[in-house]
Amino acid sequence: MEYRQLGRSGLKVSALTLGTMTFGGKARFSYVGNTDQSGATRMVDIALDAGVNLLDTSDIYSSGTAEEILGEAIRGKRGNVLLATKARFPMGPGPNDAGLSRHHLMRACDASLKRLGVDHIDLYQVHEWDGLTPVEETMAALDALIASGKVRYVGVSNFTGWQLMKALGAADRAGSARFISQQIHYTLESREAEYELVPISLDQGLGILVWSPLAGGLLSGKYRRGQAGPEDGRDFAGWPEPPIRDEVRLYDIIEVIVEISEEHNVSAAEIALAWLLHRPAVASVVIGANTEEQLRTNLKAVDLRLTDGDMERLNAVSKLPLLYPYWHQAMTASDRLGALDLVLLAQYLPKANAF
C-alpha cells in the first residue's frame, strides 16, 4: 500500500480508503448495497490486511446504521485505523436536526461517537453546503470540536469553489482550524472538479478524497454500448448519482478504459481508479464494494502504473468543454499561465504553449 500526506497536515493516509455506504442497506441506501455485520467485518479485515488505514462513513448512511456496523467491525482494531465520518444531512424530523449550525454539529458529533463506539473521530467532514448557517459559525464549531478532543482534523465535501474559499477565509481570519481535505466526486466521466476544486486543493493545501470513483459502477466495465447493464447495478435500482448528461461520451470513455485494461491485463475498474491516483492533489480514493471479489480487485489499483500514453488517451477521450472564462484564458492568456492554471488548461493549449 502507498501512503500519502493528507493536505498540509502531518497525517498520512492510504492511497485507497474503504467506503461504507454499502453497510446496512436501509431505505434508499439499499440501492447501493446491503452489507450486513459479518460481511462488513470481513470487508474491513480485507482492507486492513491490504494496508488500508482510512475508513470513511457518514451519519446519514442507512440513518446511522453504517456507523454502528463500522464501529463493531473495528472493535479491538482501533489503533490500526483512521476513522472519517460526516455530518450535515437530516438525522431527525426537527428543524435543527440538519445543517452545519453549531447546535447540529455538536449533537451530530456526539451521536457519531456513540454509534462508532470510539472517543474521537480522526477526520470529521461537513458533508454538504449549508447556505442558511454563517460559515463563521460552522468553522468555529469545528474548531471547538478539535479543542474538545472529540475530533482530530476537519474536512469538507461537496462545496463549490467560492464556498470552500469563503470557509477557509473565515478560519484564517479567526485563527481557527482549517480543512485539511475535501471529499469530491471526480472521475474520468466527471472531471468538473478540475475547473476550480483541484486547483484550490493545490493552492490551499487540501488533500483530495474521491467519492464514487467508478461513477456508481458505470466505469467498472460492466456497462457497454448497446448492451444491457447488470440488473444489480445502481442505475437499474434507481440510484441517481452521478447524473449522466452525455451517454455517447460516457461509452466513448468506457471503450478506451476497456482497451487499456486489456493491454495491461487488468480490470477496467483498476484503470479508472489508477487514473485518479495519477491526478494532482489526490490523496486517497474511496472504494466500496458489495462483494469480496470486487474489493480485492479494486485494491489492486494502487499497484498499477499507467504510462504517459495511457494517460494521454484517457485524458483526451474524457476532456470537458471549456466554460467561460477558461476558454478565454486559454485563447488570450497562455503567455502568463501559472502551474495551477495549467492543471486544467494545459490539455487545451497547443503543445508549444502548454508549459
- Angle between helices 65-73 and 102-116 in degrees, nearest 10: 40
Which secondary structure element, helix H or strand E, spans residue 12, and what is its range?
strand 12-14
State the Cα–Cα distance between residues 82 and 87, nearest whole angstrom: 17
Beta carbons within 8 Å of 294's beta carbon, 6+ residues apart:
269
State the Cα–Cα distance between residues 22 and 36, nearest whole angstrom: 9
Q: Decide if 218 contacts 235 (C-beta within 8 A).
A: yes
Active site residue: 3, 31, 61, 251, which one? 61
Question: 134 by DSSP, 3-state: which?
Answer: coil
Cell of 62: 442507512
State the Cα–Cα distance between residues 20 and 47, nearest whole angstrom: 12
Beta carbons within 8 Å of 200's beta carbon, 6+ residues apart:
161, 164, 165, 206
Does 61 qualify as catalytic in the annotation? Answer: yes
State the Cα–Cα distance between residues 135 and 125, nearest whole angstrom: 14
Please tell me the number of Cα atoms within 13 Å of 123 on its side-chain side: 32
Please tell me the number of Cα atoms within 13 Å of 17 on its side-chain side: 28
Cell of 104: 447540529
Cell of 91: 438525522
As annotated, the active-site residues are 61
